Amino acid sequence: MLVNFTLAATLVATTARISLGLMMGAVLFGYLIRLGLIFLAVFLVKDTGWISLPALGTTIIVTHLGLLIWEMKYVALSLAHPGLKPARQ
């Protein structure tokens, strides 16, 4: 999950310096590519005996939603007030 979000942040940070249209395209297609990577990871381990697919699916969903909610505060602050860093807590 952390690699997934790091890849997303890198795409946004890199393309935001170039143009808004490129950033929007990178976010859209980057999401589709990252979703495909998650699907590939699940597909590769689905037949192994030590994986419980309901537990794996629940873990992926909860982890993604938890990290998105945690990160949402910082993204909202930086977009609402460009140039200002959120205060450390």
Domain presence at residue 85: no
Amino acid identity at 25: G
**Could you give the CA distance from residue 56 to residue 70 in angstroms, rounded to a whole number?**
21
Q: How many CB atoms lie within 10 A of CB 22?
A: 14
Specify the higher pLDDT residue, 51 or 72. Answer: 51
Domain presence at residue 42: yes
Domain presence at residue 73: yes
Domain presence at residue 87: no
Domain presence at residue 61: yes
* 36 has pLDDT over 70: yes
The first and second tokens of residue 61, run together, are 């969903």
Residues spanned by the domain of 33? 2-80
Domain presence at residue 88: no
Amino acid identity at 48: T
17 falls in which pLDDT band (50, 70, 90)? confident
Amino acid identity at 67: L
Block residue for tokens 């938890």? 66
* 51 has pLDDT over 70: yes
- Residue 19 phi/psi, 5-degree rounding, is -165, 160
Q: Report the number of distinct structural domains present in the chain.
A: 1
pLDDT attached to residue 84: 58
Task: Tell me the mean pLDDT in the region 57-77.
Answer: 77
